[in-house]
Amino acid sequence: MEKSDRCNGHFPANCFLNCVLISNQGGKEMSSKSNYEQELLLFLSKNQGYVTSKELLEVLNVSQKTVYRLINKINNEYEDGPLIISERGRGYKLDYEKFISSQKSNDNDKDKEKQFTPSERRKRIMEELLLSSPKPINVYHLFSHYYVGDSVTFNDEQIMSEELKKYNLVLERKNRTLAILGEEVNIRKAIKDIIEIFNIIDIDDLKRNPKLNFNQYDVLFILDQLRKIEEDLNITIPYPYNVNIFSHLYILLSRTRIVPTRMFADEISKEEMENMERDILYPVAKVIVHNIEKYLNSPLPDIEVYFLYQYLVSSRMQGSHAITSTFSSEVIQVTKEYMEGMSINLGMDIDSQSIFIDLANHIKPMLNRLEHKIRVKNSLLSQIKVTYEEVFMGVKKVSELLSEKFNLPAINEDEIGFITLYFAKAIETGQHQRPIKTLIMCTTGIGTSELLKAKVSKKFPEIEIVDVVASRNTQMLKEKYADAELILSTVHIKEDVPIPYLLVSAMFTIDDQKRLQGKIEEVYHGN
Amino acid sequence: MEINSLYQIHFNCELQTKEEVHAFIAEIVGQDNPMSRDEVIHHLNEREKVGSTLIAEHIMLPHIESDQLEKSQILFIRLANPIEAWDCQTKNICLVIVILLKKNESVNMKKRIALFTRSLADEEYLDRLLNSHEKEEFINKIIKY
């Protein structure tokens, strides 16, 4: 994903998109806040200037009082002065710097709390049970840290049991012990979902962040294995797939230390094994599992190679293996259906080859993830939903139709969120739109206009500069450049020009850039 | 001082106002060209009227084209002290880069000048020009382009 030159805060949507595609910062702890707070912060972060309270209550669809209350609450919770600045007569504005830094620091605050809420307590207990499944653990031992009575214990068991059903797992109670029973794949999946830390880790941050409470030796070992995978295949594994593989390996290490491996009950068909052995990813998975055996000093069942292989196949990779233009007919069909469906849905042409290749490279591993029930957590889902609501709803609709047509498992919201970004990117970068043929003008056609040309072409890829001209004979322009759609000039033109025209300063200030953005939209709209 | 036929550099110029800068440019032009002082100033003023030639903070890029110029040139005028009020909107000017374009100049020469102008879109280059306080250093910076 290319980083836009205009990513300077003045084009927040574009900027947001890039941030989403590149990093996993942001939404991590937002999901725990109430929706209104989150929407309010998002809306403010998308607006550079002041926003009136009227606008806010319209966007959030709440009362004036609620807006005041929300802003007070947010500001009170933030320690270093107000996060939202208010000014009489102008409205509200987000202190962007504080906003960004508060997002990073909030994660750490949670460590200070030693009191657990009921849902946190249940999560911690489930975590312990899952990691040692299928071994039973004494109920007294499980609940003793939390000082709760029998009725609470009983209630917790009911709730956990319901939660585990989603993963096809059973919570078994026997002689004052509890145990979780089920297939290994499902146990790993539940561990990954329940232990929230796996959803918010940042691979680059792992080595340095002591607050994460990971076993540092394991972390270094796994990071080393990730690097080996990347080296062997000559690829890079981007976020969030690297986190996914990291989590898988970390859980594997934790599980293997607690539970003897021979107790796994999963079975794989012969056909699937044969398919795997033909794949270039298979030897890599095999080597990594072998390294883990050496690290743990304990043998692992063959099925671990299969588990890891599935994670590799389901990851999007960037590099020589990854940039493939040969896709299976299923991938091609699904990708095309998405593009056609979204074209109709958004009412614009989406047929560029670059979108196709990008999207197909995502769809390919996605189909594998769906088949093997590997869920990649999309930590920005809530932000994507708010920012690209229309696109998201469109993708959701198309996904439902596709699932039916191609007989695929239901496509979950995390995946829909990822796909949304590909179409959002297409809209934002204007890849779906043709370039605007533009003339650049000043008195000589060589002074400020050449300078402007350099600046414009750097920042506005959607503008195709046809020529740089002098302002002497504007009347000739229409004849000579019949298809020109826009003139950008550093000088004021007195005569009537038969082509849309915009006066900008040679400095090409932010204000000029904004006006040009507006003009571009006008040109697209007028046609 | 000339560093080659295209560029001419004037360092530490004690000029206080826009009018003095324009007069200074007219003087230089007058030395090699048949163009009169008043005409040069008239051209410069006309260009300013239709749009500011401020290209970055502290830097102006006045440019004129005329058939009375014998050859095209680029002048660098580094002011000894910033001009606080160039006009009512433009403040604090430290560097004036003047492009003198001969009418019907050869395509080759036009390309060379265009290449130079494009380099001015590079903010780092402009910063280096603004921050070079020694003449030699300044010349070195320009020759790089």
With an 8 Å Cβ cutoff, is B110 touching chain A? Answer: yes
Q: How far apart are CA A383 and CA A38, in angstroms?
A: 9
B46 pLDDT above the threshold of 50 = yes
Of A185, A221, A169, the C-alpha closest to A306 is: A185
Q: Within 10 A of A496 (CB to CB), how many other CB atoms are there?
A: 8
| Cis, bond preceding A240 (omega within 30 deg of 0) | yes
Q: How far apart are CA A141 and CA A507, in angstroms?
A: 70
pLDDT value of residue B96: 94
Q: With 0-12 CB in 10 A as exposed, 13-18 as middle and 19+ as buried, what is A171?
A: buried
User: Phi and psi for B2 in degrees, rounded to 5?
Assistant: -95, 135
Measure CA B42 to chain center.
16
CA distances, A493 to each of A442, A471, A513, A526, B99 (Å)? 9, 7, 20, 22, 21
Of A522, A458, A427, A511, the C-alpha closest to A14 is: A427
pLDDT value of residue B99: 92
Residue A506, min C-alpha distance to chain B (Å): 5
Chain A residue at shortest CA distance from B120: A451
Q: How far apart are CA A178 and CA A372, in angstroms?
A: 28
pLDDT value of residue A479: 81
| Cis, bond preceding A136 (omega within 30 deg of 0) | no
Which residues fall within 8 angstroms of residue B59, CB to CB, at 6 or more apart? B93, B94, B95, B96, B97, B126, B129, B130
Mean pLDDT of chain B: 86
Written as tens digits, the pLDDT of chain A (527 aa) is: 333 333 333 333 333 333 333 333 333 333 334 567 777 887 787 777 788 888 888 888 888 888 888 888 888 877 777 888 888 878 888 877 777 666 544 444 444 445 678 888 888 888 888 888 888 888 888 888 788 888 888 899 999 999 999 888 999 998 889 999 888 888 888 887 877 666 666 666 666 665 566 777 888 888 889 888 888 877 778 777 888 888 888 888 888 887 766 556 667 788 888 888 888 888 899 999 999 988 888 888 888 888 898 888 888 776 655 455 567 888 889 999 999 998 888 877 776 666 787 888 889 889 888 887 787 778 788 888 888 888 899 999 999 999 999 998 889 999 999 999 888 877 776 544 667 889 888 877 777 888 888 888 877 877 888 888 887 777 777 788 888 889 998 888 777 777 888 888 888 888 888 888 888 878 776 64
List, as one string, the DSSP characters of A457-485. Answer: HHH-TTEEEEEEEESTTHHHHHHHTTT--
Residue A195 and residue A124 in contact, taking contact as beta carbons nearer than 8 Å: no
Q: How far apart are CA A364 and CA A417, in angstroms?
A: 16
Beta strand B7-13 with B73-85 is parallel
Which pTM does this prediction carry? 0.42
Residue B40 and residue B30 in contact, taking contact as beta carbons nearer than 8 Å: yes
Residue A447 and residue B61 in contact, taking contact as beta carbons nearer than 8 Å: yes
pLDDT value of residue A164: 92
Which residues fall within 8 angstroms of residue A296, CB to CB, at 6 or more apart? A253, A256, A257
- Residues in chain B within 8 Å Cβ distance of A446: 63, 65, 99, 101, 110, 113-114, 117
Residue A474, min C-alpha distance to chain B (Å): 15
Q: With 0-12 CB in 10 A as exposed, 13-18 as middle and 19+ as buried, what is A10?
A: middle
Residue A473, min C-alpha distance to chain B (Å): 14
Q: b vs e for B41-80, b when ≥16 Cβ sit within 10 Å of the residue's Cβ?
A: bebbeebbebbbbbbbebbbbbbbbbeebeebbbbbbbbe
- Residues in chain B within 8 Å Cβ distance of A8: none
Q: How far apart are CA B138 and CA A146, in angstroms?
A: 73
Interface contact A506-B55, CB threshold 8 A: yes
Q: How far apart are CA A192 and CA A197, in angstroms?
A: 9
List, as one string, the DSSP characters of A366-415. Answer: HHHHHHTT-----TTHHHHHHHTHHHHHHHHHHHHHHHHHHTPPPPPHHH
Joined together, the tokens standing for residue B8 give 């001419």
Chain B residue at shortest CA distance from A455: B121
pLDDT value of residue A351: 67
In 3-state terms chain B splits into helix, strand, coil percentages (rounded to 5) of 40, 30, 30
Q: Within 10 A of A200 (CB to CB), how many other CB atoms are there?
A: 18
Looking at residue A126, its amino acid is M
Joined together, the tokens standing for residue A373 give 């029930």
User: Phi and psi for A438 in degrees, rounded to 5?
Assistant: -130, 140
Which residue stretches of A166-240 are H helix? 184-194, 197-200, 216-233
Which residues fall within 8 angstroms of residue A84, CB to CB, at 6 or more apart? A44, A71, A74, A75, A92, A93, A94, A95
Q: How far apart are CA A244 and CA A199, in angstroms?
A: 8
Give the nearest partner residue to B53 out of A448, A450, A492, using CB atoms: A448
Residue B71, min C-alpha distance to chain A (Å): 15
Q: How far apart are CA A184 and CA A142, in angstroms?
A: 22
Q: Enumerate the β-bridge partners of residue A171.
A: A180
Of A353, A411, A425, the C-alpha closest to A21 is: A425
CB pairs under 8 A between A and B: 73
Residue of B25, B49, B50, B74 to mutate when probing chain A, most A C-beta within 10 A? B50
Looking at residue A270, its amino acid is K
Looking at residue A451, its amino acid is L
φ/ψ region of B85 (left if φ > 0, alpha if ψ in -120 to 50, else beta) reads: beta
- Residues in chain B within 8 Å Cβ distance of A510: none
pLDDT value of residue A24: 34
Of A257, A186, A183, the C-alpha closest to A217 is: A257
Q: How far apart are CA A20 and CA A151, in angstroms?
A: 44
